[in-house]
Structure 1
Amino acid sequence: MKEVKLTEATALRAYAHPLRLRLIGLLRGEGPMTATQAAARLGESVPNCSFHLRQLAKYGLAERAPGADGRERPWRATARYTSWDDSSDDPAVQQASDQLNAAILEEYTRRAREYLGRRGDEPTEWRRAAGFGDVLTFVTAGELAELTAEIDAVMARFDERLEDPARRPAGARAVQIIRMAVPRD
């Protein structure tokens, strides 16, 4: 499955937990792993990761990987992407959506700070290629939706590299490209 869509406030709030966001990111980026492996990668306790993986499974975001036996019980993400409706008329869903968006923004900020902390150790070519930037433009809501779809289509060109590591060219690294379209006053 390529995408799981969250539609209920309880599922949105459940996903908004920082460790759950990191666990799903880990499973999507590195593939199936046990709670023990995830805990080691994230610097968390095994019981904490186990609990949160079970919560993710409860809402359809994670599941046991096929072939899991009684001792090694790896988990995997159920989809490559998670989506939700940011424009619900239900106040509870809208509040939960805002809570999830805030948690995701906090996670993006954490990752950016982490990168800045190690940026000096990066090779020059990667320091030149990576970075921050923004563009101010004037568009209608329809044009913004179209622009967002075009950006997503450009990024989809690289999806096969997520699924099949053999398709990654030599020197390829995981890079998170963050898209935010935020209207200004």
Structure 2
Amino acid sequence: MSLPEVKLSDPKALRGYAHPLRMALIGLLRQHGPLTATQTAERLGESVPNCSFHLRQLAKYGLAERVPGADARERPWRATAHNTSWDDASDDPQVRAATDALSATQLALYTRRAEEFLARRADEPVAWRAVTGFTDRPLYVTADEMGRLTERIEALLAEYDDRVTDPTKRPADSRKVTLVQLAVLTDPPPTEPPAEPPAETASPHSGTAGLTAAGTGAPRAGSAGEEPGDQP
């Protein structure tokens, strides 16, 4: 199944979501909501007025909403969707600046979660220590290939989506795992396009005049041997 999603495109909404407490509130509502502002404050160690303010801001951008029918003063809040997405490929300078700020906030949140896990990892059962942690791998792919790879990963993870929304489908010994996907270019962008190899001049007796190296299946210039992976 496909989880409900909110897609942010307005720079104001993107900047509005780029706040550690607001991201924490949305995560809390998605996992444990509906919750009142008082309950979120208790779980996050924040003041009630502070949580109330940020919940109202999340509602302003369509990320949270009040549960109808409850007491107006302590009416619980809930998330409007299970996922939030935005366009990282926009050419709009304002959108790009806002998405960069949002991604930086998100990365800081992921880093903090990883550090918290490392601090208690020694206390985890061996079975879980064996299957959690960090890894990296260098890939040489085109943009299209990277897109298709991402789609395949998303399709695989989608097989577990129903467990997010329906706790009865979770195995008894299952636990919540945050799987973070970081696809980063480790080389700077090229300043000039790769030079085309010279066209091959055919013999007067040949019937293959005008074929380039690419056309004959020969490797293009500029390819390099694989280098060892390094941590970003």
TM-score by length of 1: 0.96
Give structure 2 stretches of 5+ with no counterpart: 188-232
2:114 aligned with 1:112: yes
Quick one: distance in 2 between partners of 1:139 and 1:54? 43
Q: What is aligned with 1:12?
A: 14
Q: What is aligned with 2:46?
A: 44
Q: What is aligned with 1:125?
A: 127
Q: What is aligned with 2:34?
A: 32
Moved runs in structure 1, 4+ residues, more than 4 A?
none
Greater C-alpha radius of gyration: 2
Judge conservation of contact 2:20–2:105 (CA < 8 Å) in 1.
yes
Give structure 1 stretches of 5+ with no counterpart: none
The Cα shift of 1:77 comes to 0.7
Could you report, residue by residue, the CA deviation over 1:52-100 in whole angstroms, capped at 9, with x for unpaired residues? 0000000000001243223541111101111111111111110000000
Q: What is aligned with 1:87?
A: 89
Q: Which structure: greater helix fraction?
A: 1
Q: What is aligned with 1:159?
A: 161
Count of residue correspondences = 185
Q: What is aligned with 1:73?
A: 75
AA aligned opposite 1:11: A
Quick one: distance in 2 between partners of 1:73 and 1:174? 27
Cα RMSD between the aligned structures? 1.2
AA aligned opposite 1:97: T
Quick one: distance in 1 between partners of 2:123 and 2:48? 30
2:104 aligned with 1:102: yes
Judge conservation of contact 2:37–2:74 (CA < 8 Å) in 1.
no
Quick one: distance in 2 between partners of 1:136 and 1:32? 42
Q: What is aligned with 1:145?
A: 147
TM-score by length of 2: 0.77
Q: What is aligned with 2:223?
A: none
Q: What is aligned with 1:180?
A: 182
Quick one: distance in 2 between partners of 1:126 and 1:72? 39
AA aligned opposite 1:20: R
